[in-house]
Amino acid sequence: MADEAILASRLTKSYGPVLALDHLDLEVRRGEIFGFLGPNGAGKTTAIRLFLDLLRPDSGQVTVLGLDPRAQGVELRRRVGYLPGDFTVDGNQTARQLLTYLGNLRGGIRRDRIEGLAERLDLDLDQKIRSLSKGNRQKVGLIQAFMHEPELLILDEPTSGLDPLMAREFLTMTLEARAHGQTVFMSSHILSEVQKVADRAGIIRRGELIAVDEVEALRAKSLRRVEVTFDEPVDASAFADVRGVSDLVVEDGVLRCRLLGEADALVKAVARYRVRDFISEEPDLEELFFHYYAEGTDGVS
């Protein structure tokens, strides 16, 4: 059994003159939650479609669960739960009828499994599909991806249309999947979601993977906002050369700045004065994300 759930090498795809994916090298480990970060148009959906042989690459190779998606696609799809970013369903059937039908295509899913997921996501299974809101249709999509407890979940913008309570329940479901040994590959432009659950994350910009690391390591590289209140006036020049400090402002005895990396040098610098208050915001991937995207976001989905 391959150690990687997904292994892509030099994967490239163009739509006419537009380069959608640029020599993507990516390794997703079995049993982890991997966040695939980028705004709409960065290339996330293109990559996912290549992983599942819904598109063919111009060059490069990919294996999923150790299988060739093109040559072994039927076997692969038995072992994957997939939620497309443009999940659409319609018709006169109820959500229960549709999910039962999809479950039968997979060899049959226990009724209580479908009902349990629907209860968690607050979905009325007896409503007709055509009457469902966007958020409830998204719940149907999540249930069909999770219900057969696949080895690998590939989820493209999974919380689209969900209210905050249901989005939180979805994140709990991903953590439970990981605890059961499943792998979760989750594309998103909502960084706070990925930060809460992912083990590692990759950042993609205009079809190019520009960063991959443990979430904690990415957070360590992100900026935090710091505010220090002194009991006496201080001179900004005393902190201008402190390692990691930027956007430094000192007004009325209050220092405000952004800090990259360890706080040790800044703490030692402010300790020379009498400090009334010291506030350091928790580092957030949001800052790192916008740092990587400072030059623009042209691309395709």
Looking at residue 223, its pLDDT comes to 78
Nearest Cα neighbor of 185 from 149, 145, 154, 151 is 154
So what's the pLDDT on residue 213?
A: 86
Q: How far apart are CA 172 and CA 234, in angstroms?
A: 47
Picking from 28, 44, 27, 8, the residue whose alpha carbon sits closest to that of residue 297 is 44
Using CA atoms, how far apart are residues 254 and 170, in angstroms rounded to an integer? 41
pTM of the entire structure? 0.81
Tokens of 238: 């005393």
**Look-up: residue for tokens 């952004």?**
258
Give the residue from 78, 29, 33 showing the smallest Cα distance to 174: 33
At residue 281, the pLDDT reads 81
Give the whole-angstrom CA distance, residue 46 versus residue 204. Answer: 12
Q: Which residues contact 176 (CB under 8 A, 6 or more apart)?
A: none
Mention every residue, 6+ apart, whose C-beta is less than 8 A from residue 74: none
3-state DSSP assignment of residue 26: strand
pLDDT of residue 298: 44
The answer to whether residues 203 and 211 touch, using CB atoms and an 8 Å cutoff, is yes
Q: Report the half-sphere exposure of 169 (CA within 13 A, side-chain side).
A: 16
The pLDDT of residue 299 is 44
CB 219 within 8 A of CB 208: no
Q: What are the structural domains, with CATH classification, of the chain?
A: 4-219 (3.40.50.300), 223-281 (3.30.70)
List, for the chain, all residue ranges whose pLDDT scores fall below the cut of 50: 296-299
